[in-house]
Chains A and B, each alone.
Chain A
């Protein structure tokens, strides 16, 4: 049985890299799932991917090792002059050769770094595409808050009557409780109501955080919309 001190010792000193990557991973996951702002979701995604990159790179660390370029004594091109002329030509013609394992110990493993180079490129591509999507969404709906976005998408669906039958019951209930779309219009909601909705969404998402990883996203979103809508309605009632 390990004592408590030993666990802390192991987490913070011996396995610090794993500890940090797991914490970063969870922060990223939280951001992606719980945040309502699309850009914040993307920030979460970046943290998530960076955590994995950190994991790979930290695995490859070896104390006292050097970059994996031939050390002088291993160099097949023989810059030190120790290696005979015939060896050089052999090495050049044979292409890359496999070093014996006792010779490799001074090099750090290059493979995880190379893999992460690819993963970084993939991450940049994903982020770029996601930002482009955000731009499209903002141009189309005038918002990048997920709950407002859902509300706007629903109100548009109702306005185009041809498809109105397909809305499930729950959704149409929500839209009935909401203010008529004409009042909302194009301009952004006032800063006050916005901040209220933000606070509300953050608090709900925090309480749901533990479940949220595996729960269906759309259901959660619906819940959030319901709550936000409810808060807005009550807010309005208080004012009047």
Chain B
């Protein structure tokens, strides 16, 4: 289909309108609408991916409103600009959206009763915003879509408890600062280049040699800080843990894998396609400063994750640490680091999805996500815990999962560009994650009490009573999406070479230092 790229957005957008209107008459109809529009959108995404791979130059461009690039100069009309990176991240967004939509049936009914139409309307708008951020080729349009995604995100989070409302308020204030700084940066770009189209901006920068212009430097810094706030990079991360912990299950499983990763995509897009590699890495201080900030960020986030006694909160800090990985991978300014960062966006989305879906089922069964409530859960719900730990192993970076391969490229990047501090800190954080997850495994497989004492009496006796070991799996409508996500983690891990080939195809166009492997 020729216009598949437009259908990616049209499906969820129309779906959200349909949910809002039809939901008034029948609340039950919203779930099928959401699943159907996500499936349609995912199909359009795959269609676009095939187009992008087959087309010369690997770029599919689509202008809304009947403008054409032949008759009008670039910058007239809003362009959707899908290269391989954009469509890969879009597919991640749509895939996660589809799995969470399948998963959402029971949690939405139970946690936000009578609000299904509102929930699914916001849900689909959120997907529209996130997919739009990935695909748009217009700097101002990007701002609008960031705000679409952010506003719906605030709504989705605030549907939780009263605490959630208070957490959302902080998120809203910080999110608005971030988005506004981005808008300000776009203003500076517009003053200097006279266009808002990303490709157009790049052309003007090259044609007029704006790399030394202070205006563009200011624009770069403003946009950079704005995006760092939005992606919860360490000193700006304060909004994230509270917001994700208090949000309803479905919301946190949708937002946690996507929002921060999409913002990292925006950073990569700005560096590579808008400002250009030379401008971003060679003409300012950030290349020296940011890798050290990343070191601090990863250490602090990992230590804070270690201090948590509750799964959701621990996972939130893990996300902050993972953001540090990816920012570091970009800013060590190296070909392999960039591959690692892009690959890690994909794999991190999948594994975070696994973990949050698993946590949702645990929360539903045990009514708590505190570590103490986990004792002997494996014999109770083996499928859920297997899915959960496949995500966990991927975060640690065990070989068959995709987390191993992305981390491999990040470490290779650190080695080639001789950023030893980055490598050391990656190793450190891996150790912390091993501790985190094996501490949980200890509780889940064996019945270890809070003080670390084994309550069993020898071999085979785990110290669990009859009631604790009875097979009591979560509902199938929740377990199947979790297993689907876990399978994705494994499949991406096994076929990692294909994904890396695609990313390399995208990076061919950019001049990143490859260095020599020793």
Q: Is A8 an interface residue (CB 8 A)?
A: no
Instruction: Tell me if A136 counts as interface (CB < 8 A to partner B).
Output: yes
Residues from chain B with Cβ under 8 Å of A126 in the complex: 147, 151, 172, 176
B370 within 8 A of A: yes
Return the CB mask of B232-267 against A: 1 if under 8 Å, else 0. Answer: 000111110010000000000000000000000000
Q: How many residues on chain A are close to B (CB under 8 Å)?
A: 42
Docked CA distance A49–B180 (Å): 7
Most buried by B among A25, A55, A126, A217: A126
Q: How far is the CB of B173 from chain A (nearest CB, A)?
A: 5
CA A170 – CA B209 in complex, angstroms? 53
Query: Are B235 and A149 in touch, CB under 8 angstroms?
Result: no
User: Which of these, A52, A125, A218, contacts B187 with CB under 8 Å?
Assistant: A52
Q: Are B235 and A215 closer than 8 Å at their CB atoms?
A: yes
A122 within 8 A of B: yes
Q: Are A48 and B370 in contact (CB under 8 A)?
A: no
Q: A166 to B309, Cβ gap below 8 A?
A: yes
Is B370 a contact of A166 with CB atoms below 8 Å? yes
- Prevailing SS type, chain B contact patch: helix
B238 in contact with A153 (CB, 8 Å): no
Any chain A CB within 8 A of the CB of B184?
yes
Report whether A112 and B372 are in contact in the complex, using a CB–CB cutoff of 8 Å. Answer: no
For residue B138, give the distance in angstroms from its CB to the closest CB of chain A.
11
> Which of B180, B191, B307 is in CB contact (< 8 Å) with A52?
B180
B39-47, B155-163, B454-462, B475-483: which lies at the interface: B155-163
A149 touches B190 (CB 8 A): no
Asked if B230 CB lies within 8 Å of chain A CBs, one says no
**A127-135, A173-181, A192-200, A228-236: which lies at the interface:** A127-135
Q: Quick check: is A115 within 8 A (CB to CB) of the other chain? A: yes
Q: Are A41 and B173 CB-contacts (below 8 A) given A129-B151, A133-B168, A166-B309?
A: yes
Q: Is the interface of A mostly helix, strand, loop or mixed?
A: helix
Contacts of A136 in B (CB 8 A): 158, 162, 165
Task: State A133–B158 Cα separation when bound (angstroms).
Answer: 8
CB distance from B247 to the nearest CB of A (A): 13
The number of residues on chain B lying at the interface, defined by a beta carbon within 8 Å of a beta carbon of chain A, is 43
The yes or no answer to A182 lying at the interface (CB within 8 A) is no
Q: Residue-by-residue, is A116-155 near B (CB-CB < 8 Å gives 1, otherwise 0)?
A: 0011001001100110011011011100000001000100
Please tell me which one of the listed residues B144, B169, B309 contacts residue A165 in the complex, with CB atoms under 8 A apart: B309
Bound-complex Cα distance A149 to B165 (A): 12
Provide the residues of chain A in CB contact with B158, threshold 8 Å. 133, 136
What residues on A are CB-neighbors of B172 within 8 Å?
126, 129-130, 133
> Shortest Cβ distance from B69 into chain A, in angstroms?
13
17 pairs of residues in contact across A and B, judged by CB atoms under 8 Å: A38-B169, A59-B190, A59-B191, A112-B187, A112-B190, A118-B144, A122-B147, A129-B154, A129-B155, A130-B172, A134-B169, A139-B162, A141-B162, A162-B370, A163-B368, A166-B370, A214-B235
- Residues of A at the B interface (CB closer than 8 Å) are 25, 29, 32, 38, 41, 45, 48-49, 52, 55-56, 59, 98, 111-112, 115, 118-119, 122, 125-126, 129-130, 133-134, 136-137, 139-141, 149, 153, 162-163, 165-166, 168, 214-218
The 3 closest A-B pairs by CB, nearest first: A140-B162, A136-B165, A217-B238
Task: List 20 other contacts, CB 8 Å, given A48-B176, A137-B169.
Answer: A32-B176, A48-B177, A52-B183, A55-B187, A111-B196, A112-B190, A115-B140, A126-B176, A129-B172, A130-B172, A133-B172, A137-B162, A140-B166, A163-B368, A165-B309, A166-B309, A216-B235, A217-B174, A217-B238, A217-B239
